[in-house]
Amino acid sequence: MDIARTKPPTSRRPLYIGIGVVAALTLVGVAQLKPAAPTVEGNSLSIDSVVSGPMVREVRAPGSLVPEQIRWISAVAPGRVEKKLVQPGEKVTAQTILMELSNPDVEIQLLQAERQLTAAQADLVALQVSLETQRLTQAGIVAQTRSTYYEAERNATAANSMVDRQLISAFEAAKAKEHAAEMTERLAIEEQRLKLITENIPAQLSVQREQVARLKAVVAFQRSLAGAMIVRAGTNGVLQELPLEVGQFATSGTTIAKVVQPDRLKAVLRVQENQARDVALGQSAVIDTRNGLVRGRVSRIDPSSSGGMVTVDVALTEALPKGARPDLSIDGTIEIERIGQVLHVGRPTYGQANSTIGLFRLMPGGDEAERVQVTLGRTSANAVEIVSGLDAGDVVILSDMSRFDAVDRVRVK
C-alpha cells in the first residue's frame, strides 16, 4: 500500500525582501538621473568660433540719402494757383517758371503805392520850384536894396561936400547920411535873409526826397509781391515736390515747391543713443545703397536726440552708383576704432557691452552644448570682445537661446 508524501512548507519571505531591495535601489537610481537635455535643430542656429586677433569696432544704422542743398520755395504773398507748368521729377533752371498765382489785392496795392509815389514826386518838383522862386525873389530884393544903398551912399557923400560949400543945409546933409545908414542895415538884413533861404533849400528838398525814396521802396516791394505771383525755381536742379493743384489757395509762407540737386547727396543715418556716444567727426563710413557701396566720412552729429535716435550726416567721398536718388533707403556702417590682439566672436543676439551673459558652448563632437558664463567687453556691429569665459577656438551659439534658460545643456542635431 502506497503512502502519500507531503513536501515540507518553504518560506517565501527572503524572496520578497530581495525584490523589495532591488525595487528600492532602482527607484533611488532613477531619482538621481538628470532629466534628458532638450534638443535644438542645428540648422536653425547661428554659430561662430572665438578667434584671437585684431577687431574693428563699428556702428551700423539705417538712414536715407538726402540732398546737400535743398531749396524750399514758399509763397511770398497769398494767391490762387492758376497754372502748373512743370511736374515733379523734371529738371529745372533758376528761371524756370513752376506755376502762376493770382491775387487781385496784390495788384491793387501795387497801383496804390505807385499813385502815392507819383504824388510824392510831384510834390518834390513843386517844392523845388517854390523854393527856387523864393530864392530868386529874395535875390531880386537884395539887388534892388543894394542899388538903393549905393545911391544913398553917393547922396550922402555928395551932401557932405555940398555942406562944406554951403550949397545945402546941414539938416539935409544929415538926412542923406541917415538914409545911407538905413540902406546899409537893410542891405545886410536882405542878404542874411537870402542866405537863410539858400541854406534851407537842401534840407527841405532832402526831407521830400526821403519821402520819395521810401515810397519807391514800397513800390519795389509791392512789385516784388506781384512778381512773386510767377513762381520760379530759383536754382538749377530737379523739382522734387509741387504739392498744390490748380485752383488751390496758398497762404503767405506756405511751402509750394522743393528743388534739389540730385548729384550732390549725403547720407543721413539714425544711430541709437547708446551707440552714438562713440561716433566722432571725421570717422570713415561705408554706405550700402542696395546697389553698391560708397565710402564717406562723418561730417555732422546732431547735438540732440529724437525718439532714442541721433542723426549723423555722412559726406560721401565717392561717386554714387546708378539709381541713387534722394530719400533712397540705405544702411551705413561707421568705423569707430581698430583694436589690437583680443579675443572676439560674432555678436550674440543679446547682451550689452561690459556685461556677463550665458552662452552655449559646443562640446567636442558638436552634438551637445553646455552653458558657460562669458564676460563681454567692447562691442561692435557684428562682433564682441571676450574678456573671460571662452578661449580661442571655442564654438558658441549666438542665436537667442532664452527658451532654454532653465537648462545648462542642450542636444544639437
Does residue 73 register a pLDDT over 80? yes
Nearest-10 Cα torsion for 209, 215, 219, 222: 150
- Amino acid (1-letter code) at residue 384: V
Least confident of 141-155, 165-179, 349-363: 165-179
The closest of 290, 286, 238, 297 to 86, measured between CA atoms, is 238
pLDDT digits (tens, 9 = 90+) for 211-265: 999 999 999 999 999 999 999 999 999 999 999 999 999 999 889 999 988 878 9
The closest of 43, 40, 58, 45 to 344, measured between CA atoms, is 58
The closest of 149, 153, 151 to 189, measured between CA atoms, is 149
Which residues share a beta bridge with 294? 287
> For cell 573671460, what's the residue?
388
* Under 8 Å between Cβ of 309 and 271: yes
Given this model, what pLDDT does residue 20 score? 59
What is each CA distance from 54 to 129, 285, 384, in whole angstroms?
92, 19, 12
Q: Which fold has domain 71-103+229-260?
A: OB fold (Dihydrolipoamide Acetyltransferase, E2P) (2.40.50)
Q: Residue 26 — very low, low, confident or very high, per pLDDT cuts 50/70/90? A: low
> For cell 542878404, what's the residue?
191
pTM greater than 0.85 (yes/no): no
3-state helix, strand, coil in the chain (%, to 5): 35, 35, 30
Which residues share a beta bridge with 351? none
C-alpha span between 315 and 265 (Å, rounded): 8
Does residue 24 register a pLDDT over 80? no
Looking at the domain covering 39-66+262-412, what would its CATH class be? mainly beta
Q: Residue 34 — very low, low, confident or very high, per pLDDT cuts 50/70/90? A: low
Cβ-based neighbours of 62, under 8 Å, separated by 6 or more: 269, 270, 329, 330, 331, 332
Which residues share a beta bridge with 409? 370
Is residue 367 classed as helix, strand or coil in its secondary structure? coil
Q: Where are the domains of the chain?
A: 39-66+262-412, 71-103+229-260, 105-227
C-alpha span between 238 and 258 (Å, rounded): 9
Given this model, what pLDDT does residue 9 score? 53
Does residue 25 register a pLDDT over 80? no
Average confidence score pLDDT of the chain = 87
Q: Residue 31 — very low, low, confident or very high, per pLDDT cuts 50/70/90? A: very low
Task: Give the phi and the psi of residue 255 in degrees, each rounded to 5.
Answer: -75, 120
CB atoms within 10 A of CB 90: 13
Given this model, what pLDDT does residue 35 score? 60
C-alpha span between 33 and 26 (Å, rounded): 11
Does residue 7 register a pLDDT over 80? no
Does residue 4 register a pLDDT over 70? no
pLDDT digits (tens, 9 = 90+) for 102-156: 999 999 999 999 999 999 999 999 999 999 999 999 999 999 989 888 888 888 8
C-alpha span between 232 and 259 (Å, rounded): 10
What is each CA distance from 68 to 208, 259, 260, 283, in whole angstroms?
48, 11, 8, 19
pLDDT digits (tens, 9 = 90+) for 284-305: 999 999 888 999 999 999 999 8
Q: Residue 22 — very low, low, confident or very high, per pLDDT cuts 50/70/90? A: low
Does residue 16 register a pLDDT over 90? no
Given this model, what pLDDT does residue 37 score? 77
